[in-house]
A and B are shown apart, each in its own frame.
Chain A
């Protein structure tokens, strides 16, 4: 029966160095249990899982593994999660999927030199960016290392029951897109359901609204006190983390600043390719800025897509307005700072750009945070949306 157990569970097991040398997380320890199983050290595996459960008594998946290890001493196992009595199949499936998600994430580490293609540039004020890989049920935290993302932590997450690409209120899906954290709700203001706290994000964003997507209340939040984690697909659309993980993530959050990119999967790319894309877009933005300063409104307007829309304005309205305003000025100075560029998941060559815009002119002067959506049309970067950021 031992070889069978090993065979059943070894399919899930792996041997990978831990990302960080910090104290092992429950997930690290769970993977240690699987390593022991793979090596057919079943007594050691049981000891490890007993210790894990002692420290995390609500870690359901650990109980499932423990059940298998005990049952294997009594009879041959037929499957992982060999629950004998009749229980709702989806409950067991949820735990099996969680096991796979957690172990795959451990096994399939991105290479040191790989960067997420989605993050072209962070601005100096953004200390971190979060990237959710829905296929892997994983949230990756990147630190801002001179504008480049550097992977520093990653966590198992639960997403919507019905998967991703939210379009409608109540569809129990997690949105795909580029968002940012808009608030910080401490545990004391929430019911136990949300666990250690919550960080709302700005779904639906401008692009979602333009696509007619609705719904609200998409948060990153914790789990109820009676569980350690939830299955990979179990929320109503929120991104759910184990409470200790939510607390860790919370330490990286800057409300209003921290981008949350939710994608089918992280596109790992090499630094040179990411830099080439970044440089190409940065050059287009710079041309847009100088063309604005030149007060040649027609040239300035060539940067806008025919599909452009600003809040309450289409391209015609926008053009009309700009012709009037720009023509009245004898000089314009535009300064851009704290520029961030994030590629939009699912959309082709589509980037969210945010920056501080310092506008001075012979008439009005003002400073604002601006958000633009740039899209590549016929090999040229164009603006498809522009508004306050």
Chain B
């Protein structure tokens, strides 16, 4: 869920600046949410809200928790009220749109995203989401044009949307936790690969230790990872489906819990049906979390004869038998 992540990032930035009990509580709540402890997270947020009922960060986080819990009605309520109380914030509109889209209410999603963009004309996430919503609305219009019964398809559309727009509601909590990590890192002007030393000290939880994340990967390990990513993109651009698929680990988490075979088939079809594909990778950032684990975040530009998209991509990679392979792929 690109959108939720972005939205949260903006708000969390403020949170970090205020070293208050509230901030600590909210950080804790974020972490709990990431860990899947929805109920605890909710309790913590409610504690903050009991003291400061109008607090936008707390309300926003509560909206995320509720969304993640599947309590869309209350989540919609919270985000809607946020748009009323803070019409200048684009994120609540955006997240509202994500929920509507997941419900198949693309017209409402469209309105919300357009408002989000009106609020912040440069809000890229809303633009990207809006593009998806327009495509969905177009698809519905075509169904009506061709008298295709979209009642059954509705469910499918919804699922595929969760995959595309959201990258999984599940991704949101992850993103939340990463947040503190990414933020400080981003302030650093320097590319990761140049960072000097200690690898792998901190195999794990990134979120708790912002400092740890900044800890650089070994230059050569980072370079190795990047080389693999570049080769992956090159295979994709060459429409070499075999080579492209070889960059995905056996335990790759397919989107939407598709079977590996179905997913591969889908990828082959997509790659095969395009006449031309061009994939470019911009400002990649490698974060090592062990000598055999890395997360790469970059700006991906995809262009084919029929489709164009740009957005942030995150690849979670691991090294096995001397090869870096992709275990998770997320778009934002």
**Residues of A with Cβ closer than 8 Å to B?**
60-61, 63-64, 66-68, 70-71, 73-76, 78, 81, 83-85, 87, 91-92, 95, 226-227
Contacts and interface: CB of A to CB of B under 8 A. Distances in A.
B130 interface: yes
A71 B306 CA distance: 11
Nearest to B305: A78
B155 interface: no
Contact of B135 (A61, A71, A78, A226): A71
Interface in B146-192: 146-148
Contacts of B148: 87
A226 to B, nearest CB: 8
Top 6 nearest A-B pairs by Cβ distance?
Answer: A67-B141, A71-B138, A64-B145, A63-B145, A70-B138, A63-B144
Given A67-B139, A78-B306, A83-B142, A60 B147 contact: yes
A73 B134 contact: yes
A73 B140 CA distance: 15
Contact of A74 (B131, B141, B144, B147): B131
10 contacts: A70-B134, A71-B134, A71-B135, A73-B130, A73-B131, A74-B131, A76-B306, A78-B305, A83-B146, A92-B146
A63 B139 contact: no
Contacts, number: 68
Contacts of A81: 142, 145
B145 A60 contact: yes
Nearest to B146: A91
A95 B146 contact: yes
B134 A84 contact: no
B25 interface: no
A68 B147 contact: no
Contacts of A226: 147
Interface of B: 130-132, 134-135, 137-142, 144-148, 305-308
B147 A227 contact: yes
B147 A66 contact: no
Contacts of B147: 60, 91, 226-227
B324 to A, nearest CB: 32
A66 B308 contact: no
Which residue among B131, B132, B139, B308 has the maximum number of chain A CB atoms within 10 Å of its CB?
A: B139
Contacts of A63: 141-142, 144-145
B24 to A, nearest CB: 42
A74 B138 contact: yes
A70 B143 CA distance: 13
A84 B145 contact: no
B141 A64 contact: yes
A67 B308 contact: no
A87 B153 CA distance: 13
A87 B130 contact: no
B145 A74 contact: no
B145 A70 contact: no
Which residue among A61, A78, A85, A227 has the maximum number of chain B CB atoms within 10 Å of its CB?
A: A85
Given A75-B308, A87-B146, A91-B147, 4 more contacts: A63-B141, A66-B138, A70-B141, A75-B135
Nearest to B110: A70
A76 B306 CA distance: 7
A92 B147 CA distance: 10
Contacts of B307: 75
B144 to A, nearest CB: 4
A78 B139 CA distance: 15
Contact of B142 (A64, A78, A227): A64
A60 B144 contact: yes
B137 to A, nearest CB: 5
A60 B146 CA distance: 7
